[in-house]
Amino acid sequence: MPKVVIDNREVEVEQDSTILDAARKLGIEIPTLCFLEGCSPSTSCMVCLVKLKDQYELVPACATKVVDGMVVESETDQVHQARKASLELLLSNHLGDCEAPCQTACPAHMDIPLMIRQIAADRLAEAIVTVKKDIPLPAVLGRICPAPCERACRRGTRDEAVSICLLKRYVADVDLAAAEPYLPPRKPDKGKAVAIVGAGPTGLSAAYYLLQQGYACTLLDEHPAPGGMLRYGVPAEKLPPSVLMAEIEIIRRLGAEFRMGVRVAADPSLGDLKKEFDAVLVAVGQVKDSAETLGLRASPTGIQISRKTFQASADGVFAGGDAVRPSRLSVRAVADGKAAATCIDQYLCGHEVAAPERPFSTHMGKLTQAEIEALMTGVSPSPRASAEAAGEGLTRQQAGAEAARCLHCDCRKGDSCKLREYAEAYGARAGRHKGQRRSFEQYADHREVIYEPGKCIACGLCVQIAAAAGEPLGLTFIGRGFNMRVAVPFGKSLADGLTTSAAKCVAACPTGALAFKRDD
């Protein structure tokens, strides 16, 4: 039995084993896109490249047989750069959005397409969890948000955008009307406390997320009631105080303490709060030239902070929202609160402090009308539900009808796409190699499965799986080079090609080119 050394670790393997087999036996992860156990290696993606010692060439681990005494390096700079280059070549011909334009445009980065699919399936208990993962005040924002997400909605280029804010409001209102509105779970008490100066959208949001992490939170505000600009800057006819208080009450039920009628400056001072609490977040709204009164360094727009960590000039003090930069977007204030909460958690845990970065995403850009029509397959042609028509809010029937208008232009396998995973891990750039964009195509004639050729990397796994399953037609390669694609022979439909093996093909697809229509 041959022995091989990979990254200074020796292993004995069966005859005819590959480098990938040996690495897996050692527990060393080598990335693969076009390889699947039981299928013949195609070496088409070249993401599994490794270095043989004393040789300049790199070889694909999935197809290179082990030779006794072989010495392999899998984690050198040269190997990493080669894998990155392979990924960037694949991305140069990849047509698909990891995240829908609406989610990308949302300052809170809420998973809007998932919420919409859950509404369409009448799974509202799941939908409120999806919403509150990123937006703790959805009933409020559903009424007053200027909806940058709707301006980015692709449906708007055909007729009118999906009424995302009304759908978010619908989910939140149904939850608030329940006997037991959704209350997120809390981690065990960490024994540390955070003072939040300002009970407006940023402060309320930060408290919502810090409380879930197990911190005690006290919100101090000079006004008689919490809410900040949501209470004192928005007309009651646009945002009823009862709606605001209902969502604040959930934060109170999580454990938040409110000290109202307290102006933090001289008594108590910021220094007093630092003695009483383990961290302080300043979220008082616009401070303009008064940052120094809090004992903090000022910038031209407010309190000076590190944009990556939300940390102010004083140790243990953070700031966010309009106190840092005027925005007048409550959804951005809420997003700041969540990001600041993440940084405060890291600080109190003794970890390196950094706000979460946006995940890797590719973008198709503007689509032609013909491409939009391709996305319309199976989508409701109904007109948009307007705020005027909704009146007091959408009914269950109206919400379902509006949800059915969504083009579903996010990736159905966005959380399990291996191309996205490795692109992020290796720092690959989607736009490194510029070229003519492929035309968007979508095939949805199959009862369960949808196929988007623009996402296909021609790994051939589905071709092999369909053949092994004995499909009468199956799948095959058509064309050459960058124009090569997988299709059903003789121009037949996807339903004709995949009669029994569709689920196996979907499971094997590394990029979401083949996906279940309802993969949510």
CATH number at 469 reads 3.30.70.20
The CATH number given to whatever domain includes residue 163 is: 1.10.1060.10
One domain for residues 205 and 321: yes
pLDDT band at 389 (very low <50, low <70, confident <90, very high): low
One domain for residues 52 and 137: no
Reported as type and span, the H/E element at residue 193 is strand 193-197
Q: Which residue has the higher pLDDT, 291 or 360?
A: 360
Question: Shortest CA distance to 285 belongs to which of 208, 220, 228?
Answer: 228
DSSP class of residue 8 equals T
The CATH number given to whatever domain includes residue 312 is: 3.50.50.60
One domain for residues 337 and 465: no
pLDDT band at 288 (very low <50, low <70, confident <90, very high): low
- pLDDT of amino acid 283: 94
Give residues with Cβ within 8 angstroms of 299, minimum separation 6.
291, 305, 324
Q: What does the alpha-carbon distance between residue 404 and residue 116 come to, in Å, rounded to a whole number?
A: 8
Q: Which residue has the higher pLDDT, 459 or 355?
A: 459
Residues forming beta bridges with residue 478, ordered by sequence position: 485
Asked if residue 409 belongs to a domain, the reply is no
DSSP class of residue 56 equals S
- Enter the tokens of residue 176: 């608030």
One domain for residues 300 and 383: no
* Chain-centre distance for alpha carbon 345: 20
Task: Sheet containing 3-6: give its strands across.
Answer: 9-12, 3-6, 70-73, 49-52, 58-60
Task: Indicate whether 324 pLDDT > 60.
Answer: yes
pLDDT band at 392 (very low <50, low <70, confident <90, very high): confident
pLDDT band at 328 (very low <50, low <70, confident <90, very high): confident
The whole domain housing 509 covers 436-516
One domain for residues 155 and 273: no
Asked if residue 65 belongs to a domain, the reply is yes
Average pLDDT over residues 284-300: 77
Is the distance from CB of 440 to CB of 97 less than 8 angstroms? no
Is the distance from CB of 41 to CB of 62 less than 8 angstroms? yes
- pLDDT of amino acid 215: 98
Average pLDDT over residues 266-272: 84
DSSP class of residue 325 equals S
- Give helix then strand counts, H and E, for the chain: 20, 16
- pLDDT of amino acid 519: 56
One domain for residues 52 and 107: no
Task: Region of 255 please: left (phi>0), alpha (psi -120 to 50) or beta.
Answer: left
Asked if residue 340 belongs to a domain, the reply is yes
- pLDDT of amino acid 520: 53
- pLDDT of amino acid 483: 75
End of a domain among 348, 372, 387? 348
Mean confidence (pLDDT) of the chain: 93
pTM strictly above 0.85: yes
One domain for residues 328 and 376: no
Task: Indicate whether 295 pLDDT > 80.
Answer: no
Q: Are strands 70-73 and 49-52 parallel, antiparallel or unpaired?
A: antiparallel
For 43-74, what is each residue's pLDDT tens digit?
Answer: 999 999 999 988 888 999 999 999 999 999 99
Asked if residue 415 belongs to a domain, the reply is no
Asked if residue 248 belongs to a domain, the reply is yes
One domain for residues 197 and 307: yes
Q: At what angle do helices 164-176 and 241-254 cross, to 10 degrees?
A: 60
pLDDT band at 273 (very low <50, low <70, confident <90, very high): very high
Is the distance from CB of 236 to CB of 369 less than 8 angstroms? no
Three-state DSSP at 195 gives strand
Q: Which residue has the higher pLDDT, 54 or 316?
A: 316
Average pLDDT over residues 11-32: 96
Single-letter amino acid, residue 305: I
Q: What does the alpha-carbon distance between residue 132 and residue 223 come to, in Å, rounded to a whole number?
A: 26
One domain for residues 317 and 209: yes
By CB atoms closer than 10 A (0-12, 13-18, 19+), residue 14 is exposed
- pLDDT of amino acid 479: 83
Task: Indicate whether 33 pLDDT > 60.
Answer: yes
Q: Quote the number of domains for the chain.
A: 4
Asked if residue 219 belongs to a domain, the reply is yes
Largest CA distance in the chain: 81
Task: Indicate whether 377 pLDDT > 90.
Answer: no
Average pLDDT over residues 199-215: 97
Q: How far apart are the first and last CA of the chain?
A: 46
Average pLDDT over residues 237-265: 95
Please state, in angstroms and as integers, the Cα–Cα distance from residue 62 to each residue in 72, 106, 422, following that order: 13, 41, 16
Average pLDDT over residues 87-108: 94
Asked if residue 410 belongs to a domain, the reply is no
* Chain-centre distance for alpha carbon 410: 10
One domain for residues 286 and 324: yes
For 458-481, what is each residue's pLDDT tens digit?
Answer: 999 999 999 999 999 999 999 877
Asked if residue 82 belongs to a domain, the reply is no
- pLDDT of amino acid 285: 80
Task: Indicate whether 388 pLDDT > 80.
Answer: no
Task: Indicate whether 96 pLDDT > 70.
Answer: yes
One domain for residues 107 and 71: no
Task: Indicate whether 85 pLDDT > 80.
Answer: yes
- Residue identified by tokens 């736009």 is 431
Average pLDDT over residues 268-272: 89
One domain for residues 284 and 166: no
Average pLDDT over residues 354-365: 89
Is the distance from CB of 213 to CB of 190 less than 8 angstroms? yes
- pLDDT of amino acid 29: 96
Is the distance from CB of 46 to CB of 32 less than 8 angstroms? no
The CATH number given to whatever domain includes residue 10 is: 3.10.20.740
Q: What does the alpha-carbon distance between residue 59 and residue 37 come to, in Å, rounded to a whole number?
A: 19
pLDDT band at 339 (very low <50, low <70, confident <90, very high): very high
